[in-house]
Structure 1
């Protein structure tokens, strides 16, 4: 299956499927089928259609989707160009398909996109108590910068069950590849 994956930019027509995918990967009982769940940390949704439509209308933003040979949505990743840095977020894989290499390929596709955009660094924020996720990124050459960011106080995309904080991670890219 991994050799037939396709990575293409999402369009507004993809929004309903993206909302379902992202929310199932991070929140609620469905998310517990995978290892990326935030269900014990946050209640509520991870994203909504209005937010995704707004993202897709932003010129510096691409949501890269991952589909199989039958064009079924398996994953996605949010990419935002900020000068010579690419911010990567919302890396999502269907819960039942996690730990099969799709997330790794999505991450690599995001990094390739960063290089195409002439970015030298990829940055991201990760909830500080997500130790297994931080370790996963570290195995892929991302490093903690020492910087932190507050977790949003708006409950639009989740109600924290505890005090949360983001850590900032980054990876330098070789532009000679």
Structure 2
């Protein structure tokens, strides 16, 4: 098992992983599914490829002993903050430490990028996920953002708002 930077060659496998983690019947095998809240896909290969052309973006991948990508996280330097998104773990491996390891690696990279804070958005009704982040030191900033309703991340089945959570990195 290892965590390394993903490359353009990983796009097809990352695409499958992220969509399985968030949408469809497969996602319901884990506890982070958004399938009941959103229709459509979470990401596509075109969008993933775009990320690799942006120097501010790093995608970390967690691979098992057979080289299969079982987790990933999107990190983007935004001034003194590191934005964390697209945090995905294979539904059948959730709760086994993959996510925790990726978050720890994100904190190491935040320091290397001279970022003092990791920031993210979380669907406001995802109480179990918000609690998971709180146990890892993230706090709700009080900021609430509308869900991106342009269809890029799926089509909401209900009204969705995002809360901003942050963790200071020292």
- TM-score tier by shorter-chain length is over 0.9
Cα RMSD of the aligned pairs, angstroms, is: 0.7
2:73 alignment counterpart = 77
TM-score by length of 1: 0.94
Is 2:15–2:44's contact at 8 Å kept on the other side of the alignment? yes
Partner of 1:11: 7
Report the counterpart of residue 130 of structure 2 in structure 1.
134
Where does residue 110 of structure 1 map in the other structure?
106
Output one character per residue of 1:121-149: Cα deviation in whole Å (capped at 9) or x when no partner.
00000010111100000000000000011
Alignment TM-score, normalising by the size of structure 2: 0.98
Q: Distance in 1 between matches of 2:106 and 2:66?
A: 22
Determine the C-alpha separation between the residues in 2 that align with 1:11 and 1:57. 11
Displacement over 3 Å in runs of 4+:
none
Q: SS in structure 1 opposite 2:42?
A: coil
Aligned residues: 170
Candidates 52, 59, 62, aligned match of 1:63: 59
**Matches of 2:37 and 2:92, distance apart in 1:** 20
Partner of 1:169: 165
